[in-house]
Structure 1
Amino acid sequence: MPLPLSRTGRPSRSGRPSRPRRRLTAGVGRRRASPRPPGRPLVAGGLTAAVLAAAFVAQTAGALLPHVPLLLAATAVSLAAEGVLARWQPGVLAMLAKSHADLTVRHVLRDLLLVVGLLRLGEHDREPQFAWPVAGLLVFYALHCAVQAVSVLVRRTRTLPVLTRNIDASALRLSPAPAALLRRPGRRLLLLGLPTTAGLAAAAATREALPAAAGTAVSVVLAAAGLGVLLVRLLPSRRPAGEQEVLDWFDRWLADYRPTVGLYFSGGASSAYQANMWLETMSRIDGRPVVILRERFMVARIAATDLPVVCLPKVSTLMRLEHSTLRVLIHPSNSGKTSQVLRIPTIKHAFVNHGESDKLSSCNPYAKAYDEVWVAGPEARERYARAGVGVEDKDVVEIGRPQLDAVRPRSGPPAVGARTTVLYAPTWEGWDGNPGNTSVVAAGENLVRALLADPGVRLLYKPHPLTGSVEPAAGAADRRIRELIRAANRERSAAPPESAAERDRLAAELDRLTTELDRLTAAGVREGADQAERMLVQSAPPPGRAEAVARATAAWEEAYWACLPQDEHRVVTGVRPALYSCFNAADLLISDVSSVISDFLAGGKPYAVVNTGGTAEDAFRAAFPTVAAATVLTPDASGVPALLEAVRHPEKDGLADARAELRLRLLGPDEPTSLERCNAALRALSAAAPDHGERGDRAGARHPRSRRLAEDLLPPPRRASGTGAGADAGRADSVTPPSRPGPPV
């Protein structure tokens, strides 16, 4: 009986949550900047906040004494600290705002202290001269409050009940967003109030009221101009369409496009990869696909695609899908909002997951809420049977993994004299604190040292983005591993001089391709655009954009690996290169128990799994079927030399047949292809959905247009007979459009 190992809490590694993208080059002598330890930003932010507080104290002293040099110096330091916080320390700004010391309070205090200093410096008979600057200061702050109120109204008019991409939204009277300065109160006050602050400081230095009056006048004029710009946005002719108008437009689009299959996704900011990995498959399946999201921020996080993307934040808007032609929704993840769409009885639901592994999350009890569970191969079917979570075997459908078409099969061992590329891709520590979740803490440094000690190895280290998010020891181990890799790169001999020019040429080409790929994937959206502007700019993809992105991505990956010297190790983070690209570059994978193993097996290459749970090897293999064809490594990394020897000499690889057998169990057969099996499953489930006649009869009284749409889609014999779903079995072509339309415009 296998030991009860904990296998919970480790998210899939088949696609990674993305970090902010960084430009990557590979020129001679250029290295990736090492990440800052987590404590450094906190310390820097604390020091900046302390400087700001000290500046206010000094400014107060300078105003009360009065002491002009101290007052002016403290004001300048205070403004500089504000700029540093606004540019590099947003977390400190948030903390100050929670303490009711937000920028408005600080700015008012700064100007008030300057006014106090002026009054203390001025003679009593000249104090009336400063009445006008003080009055102008009050007017400026009144305008600031008015601008903020109007900006909120403008934002509400631009918050639409439906957000889209790749759908013509010209009928909604969308327009570019107002300037970001007018939408951000803190930055607006800091910049527009700068003339007032500078004028007051100049008045303190000269003891004349004119500079203060001029400064406040400039700030008042700028604030009034901003208010006017925003007020124009509230005119009926300048506002976007209202809520009901948008909903009517969305209903018309559903009627015109007639979607048949959708990818439904809801999740947090770091989970977009779970939907992105299915976009390419959705673009190739039969029918008219649509991507349905629930969170507004997710619209911008979905990768470049020509598929129509729809975001329906409210449940009431989501329920309008009941009157559409949608027959099947595909779910790559579970979320709290999944239960809302499952209430629609006219749509069948299939759970496809975003990766399969031996952890319990790959056979979650929630899966029984779906009509069917689509899995890769027989092993996943047996996993559900063993788990006993209520998913019946008849509801499990094997479709393979269509995404793995990007993984190239093994072409053979490394060439003689070439480096052996090893991909070390550990998972993160999980939520339960089990030391067997990740190998980073107990074995990571030993593994990396053993790999770096072999002069014939080129190491690719791709840690999970969540490493260190729960257990600080994992983050510390990750940083030490990165330092080991940097030290190894420093010790290796530099490239020969004759190759420097070629490497510079390759680096320049990589930079060019990075710029091109960024341009294609950004789709012309400017920085500072709001959601309505994004909807306008991304209303229709340029013809052939998807193919152009695919070509640019392939060219970028080829240039990336060409730029990477054979003797240089690399820490791979960020969106590019993708995990599957690392698979293709690697000769060997070392990982933990996670879905990355199943995906790597598509290439047929050797792999190893690290056993850090203190379990006997036989029990470890029995507990985790995906380890059956792996070399099991212990935390001391003593098996690394023999593992590398087996990779370089296939005759010493005794697990090749086991990998082929396990690949068949995990991913299913090669024929029919995974895409063909996916389409077959889609047709079968679509045929089981309630036909349009039933939908029209049930919803006609409430939604007459839906009845007419159902009658238009239904073939005449079916409409006359009025039979249900049972008679429709095997006739998916009666409800699936015979051909895909072109990209929606």
Structure 2
Amino acid sequence: MRRPVTRYSKPLRLSTVLSLPVTLVLLIVAAVAGSPGWFLAAAVATYLAEPTVFRLFAEADRPLRWGELGAGARLLIRQGAFVLLFAQAGGVGDATVATAAIGLFALDWLRAGTLIGATVLRRGNSLPYATRNLGAGEPAYPKAEPAWHVRLVALVEGYADALPVLVGAVGLLVDVPALLVAGLALAAAAMLGSVGWQTPRLKQMRRLLNGRRVGRDVQRRVSEYGPEVVLYFTGTAVNAYQGNMWLETLERLDRKAMVLVRSPEVVAALAPTRLPIVCVSRAEDMMNFDWTTVRVALYTGNTGKNLHLLREPDIKHVFVGHGDSDKDSSSNPVSKVFDEVWVAGPAGRDRYRNSEAGVRDEAIVEVGRPQLAGITEGPTGNEVPTVLYAPTWEGWDSDHSYCSLLPMGEKIIGALLAQGPGLRVIYRPHPYTGTRMAAAAAAHRRIVAMIEQANQAGGGHRVVTGAEASLHDCFNRSDMLITDISSVISDYMPSLKPYVVTNPHGVDDARFRADFPSASAAYLLGPGCAELADILAVATTPGRDPLAGDRVELRDYLLGPAEPDAMTRFATAVDTLAEAGPRSRKYALPTPRVPDPA
């Protein structure tokens, strides 16, 4: 693990960075002296210093570049010192010195080719188009670079000369200069192996980067498929969950649906689905693409790139979001640009009505949450009560942060773990945790360490992150939820199981419930977490849960009625818009009249 560098470690930083030029000076001195033994020792010190410096001081490359001592410069200095050693050492012929110089020069060209190839292969996110599920031969996003090749390229970048330098120095020390050739050959073989692996993939990248040819192919495939409904997702791979939550719902529609994304990495990051997935990266390509068959576009977020599809006048544009919550962001004024805003239930309508977002009430449609059909209602049957702690992330700024992780997270987990073998914990942090605040990431790591320590004593607790982070699976495995103000609350409601909402700022309970209606049937937890023991005793004991009836009423308010089911309501809303015809007819707009010429 990388050692943290504090504000008191300025001398350590300076000495750390200076250790690299110092070892290089020692290397040159040993070469000038023509001493293979001292040169070998200095070379070993140099190669060991490289990873040590960057482990202790991750930003060391910046001052090194300022001093014109970047990775390439350091490599050339080592190579120059090595050739100088051969020239200064006694008993070495001119042919061997020339072999060292020419061999290292050739390795530098191989190194350059390897690094250029690796750079091109890692340009996957600059592809103009990428697709999934559009048929054989489609312009698919390249497969991920294997770990062995990533490590090999890293070694080539910083240590391409290590084998010839070390083996050659040993050869001089034992009076077998020809060992130099073996070092050169081994290094060349490693780089040629990388180039050989890269070659077919570089050919694929060349084809994929040909935007005009690939664009025609993608347009033909999309036109042949004829999508009527498009899910438009502009996020990156880290928030692909926002698109994933809609995939199964769109698969169940009777109309042809497609997923449209704007970042090539997302094509591979989205969950398995039979829906066609198309990435159009560039704005000009989006605007030139033919979307004639599309009747309804569904948007998961309010982002600037939405403009590139919103400009299409013949498409009905709908904001569906990625979860209903009482956060301010769930009633964003930007939502006014959409033809309709779809919410789960009456709570969503009231949220917009009570806000200053300016969204027309007639533009709001209650469609439920079709994604929640798989959440089971009632007791889990767990032998040991299980509590799910699912905090939200720290938000874009402190004024819109509902996260309990920093002020309360460790207290909550500590209190839960203190229950001993009579309670199980599932910790499922938000995928964005720590993206804005390093302190939140540190708190997350401490919580994980607490749970791992408890598990060493046979705790059986779980930390659920990354690809395994199925929130609905966590819902079904838990007997109670602890969370923050977020869409997690409304998504948990179909279970009718008790839930706890954190109140990290210690707001008065009545005011808190009034400000956040989703907490009206919750047990509230203040910043000190003093209530948690009593809440656990009540909420995890059958028959002692006084808020059980309130949750039934709240479920209908947050998610809408049970009949017709959410999928039916969602599909009906799609059909209604798809068949609505031109906007002038749907919204009863007057037909513009051109005055007669005088």
Q: Same fold (TM over 0.5)?
A: yes
* Structure 2 match to 1:699: none
* Structure-1 separation of matches of 2:194 and 2:443: 51
Is 1:462 matched with 2:428?
A: yes
* Structure 2 match to 1:605: 497
TM-score, length basis structure 2: 0.83
Structure 1 residues 288-297 or 636-645, which shifts more? Answer: 636-645
Structure 1 residue 52: deviation in Å? 5.2
* Structure 2 match to 1:362: 330
Structure 1 residue 98: deviation in Å? 5.8
SS of 1:281 mapped into structure 2: helix
Choose from 155, 158, 173 the match for 1:205: 173
* Structure-2 separation of matches of 1:588 and 1:333: 29
SS of 1:164 mapped into structure 2: strand
SS of 1:311 mapped into structure 2: strand
* Structure 2 match to 1:138: 105
Structure 1 residue 690: deviation in Å? 4.3
CA 50–619 in structure 1, closer or farther in 2 if over 3 Å, else same: same
SS of 1:353 mapped into structure 2: coil
SS of 1:329 mapped into structure 2: strand
* Structure 1 match to 2:87: 119
Structure 1 residues 253-262 or 194-203, which shifts more? Answer: 194-203
Structure 1 residue 134: deviation in Å? 1.4
* Structure-1 separation of matches of 2:490 and 2:536: 21
* Residues 343-354 of structure 1 aligned to structure 2 (within 5 Å): 343-354=311-322
Structure 1 residue 568: deviation in Å? 2.8
* Residues 291-370 of structure 1 aligned to structure 2 (within 5 Å): 291-370=259-338
SS of 1:259 mapped into structure 2: coil
- 8 A contact 2:208–2:214 mirrored in 1: no
Deviations 1:554-610 (A, max 9, x none): xxxxxxxxxxxxx53333333325111111111111122111111111111111112
* Structure-2 separation of matches of 1:280 and 1:470: 31
Is 1:680 matched with 2:582?
A: no
**How much is the aligned-residue C-alpha RMSD, in angstroms?**
4.1
Choose from 111, 131, 141 the match for 1:164: 131
* Structure 2 match to 1:443: 408
Choose from 502, 507, 510 the match for 1:615: 507
Structure 1 residue 612: deviation in Å? 2.2
* Structure 2 match to 1:508: none
Deviations 1:658-686 (A, max 9, x none): 11111101111111111111111111111
* Structure 1 match to 2:488: 596
* Structure-2 separation of matches of 1:305 and 1:668: 28
- 8 A contact 1:233–1:239 mirrored in 2: no
* Structure-2 separation of matches of 1:178 and 1:661: 51
- 8 A contact 1:401–1:674 mirrored in 2: yes
* Structure-2 separation of matches of 1:276 and 1:651: 37
* Structure-2 separation of matches of 1:425 and 1:263: 27
- 8 A contact 1:162–1:310 mirrored in 2: yes
* Structure 1 match to 2:532: 640
| Structure with higher RCO (Cα < 8 A, 6+ apart) | 1
* Structure 2 match to 1:261: 229
CA 631–312 in structure 1, closer or farther in 2 if over 3 Å, else same: same
* Structure 2 match to 1:556: none
* Structure-2 separation of matches of 1:181 and 1:454: 47
CA 63–281 in structure 1, closer or farther in 2 if over 3 Å, else same: same
- 8 A contact 1:85–1:92 mirrored in 2: no
* Structure-1 separation of matches of 2:304 and 2:182: 57
* Structure 1 match to 2:398: 433
* Structure 1 match to 2:479: 587
CA 399–92 in structure 1, closer or farther in 2 if over 3 Å, else same: same
SS of 2:272 mapped into structure 1: coil
User: Counterpart amino acid of 2:130?
Assistant: L
* Structure 1 match to 2:379: 411
* Structure-2 separation of matches of 1:72 and 1:382: 75
Is 1:373 matched with 2:341?
A: yes
SS of 2:408 mapped into structure 1: helix
- 8 A contact 2:83–2:100 mirrored in 1: no
User: Counterpart amino acid of 1:603?
Assistant: S
SS of 1:39 mapped into structure 2: coil
User: Counterpart amino acid of 1:395?
Assistant: A
* Structure-2 separation of matches of 1:282 and 1:98: 51
- 8 A contact 1:196–1:212 mirrored in 2: yes
Structure 1 residue 265: deviation in Å? 0.7
* Structure 2 match to 1:497: none
SS of 2:311 mapped into structure 1: coil
- 8 A contact 1:151–1:183 mirrored in 2: no
Is 1:289 matched with 2:257?
A: yes
SS of 1:297 mapped into structure 2: helix
- 8 A contact 1:348–1:689 mirrored in 2: no
Structure 1 residue 91: deviation in Å? 5.5
* Structure-2 separation of matches of 1:155 and 1:380: 42
- 8 A contact 1:322–1:347 mirrored in 2: no
SS of 1:306 mapped into structure 2: coil
SS of 1:459 mapped into structure 2: strand
User: Counterpart amino acid of 2:560?
Assistant: G
SS of 1:409 mapped into structure 2: coil
Identity of aligned residues (%): 35
* Structure-1 separation of matches of 2:587 and 2:128: 38
Structure 1 residues 347-356 or 609-618, which shifts more? Answer: 609-618
* Structure 2 match to 1:557: none
Structure 1 residues 422-431 or 54-63, which shifts more? Answer: 54-63
- 8 A contact 2:125–2:265 mirrored in 1: no
* Structure-2 separation of matches of 1:52 and 1:361: 49
CA 59–577 in structure 1, closer or farther in 2 if over 3 Å, else same: same
* Structure-2 separation of matches of 1:325 and 1:367: 24
SS of 1:114 mapped into structure 2: helix
CA 226–38 in structure 1, closer or farther in 2 if over 3 Å, else same: closer
SS of 2:564 mapped into structure 1: coil
Choose from 647, 652, 657 the match for 2:544: 652
User: Counterpart amino acid of 1:258?
Assistant: G
CA 690–246 in structure 1, closer or farther in 2 if over 3 Å, else same: farther
Structure 1 residue 633: deviation in Å? 2.0
Choose from 391, 395, 411 the match for 2:359: 391
* Structure-1 separation of matches of 2:141 and 2:474: 41
- 8 A contact 1:407–1:602 mirrored in 2: yes
CA 630–72 in structure 1, closer or farther in 2 if over 3 Å, else same: same
User: Counterpart amino acid of 1:61?
Assistant: V
Structure 1 residue 389: deviation in Å? 1.0
Structure 1 residues 430-439 or 132-141, which shifts more? Answer: 430-439
Structure 1 residue 150: deviation in Å? 7.2
Ranges in structure 1 where 5+ consecutive residues have no aligned partner: 1-35, 495-566, 692-723, 729-745
Is 1:670 matched with 2:587?
A: no
CA 290–658 in structure 1, closer or farther in 2 if over 3 Å, else same: same
* Structure-2 separation of matches of 1:164 and 1:85: 42
* Structure-1 separation of matches of 2:414 and 2:121: 58
- 8 A contact 2:75–2:159 mirrored in 1: no
- 8 A contact 1:118–1:203 mirrored in 2: no
- 8 A contact 1:435–1:612 mirrored in 2: no
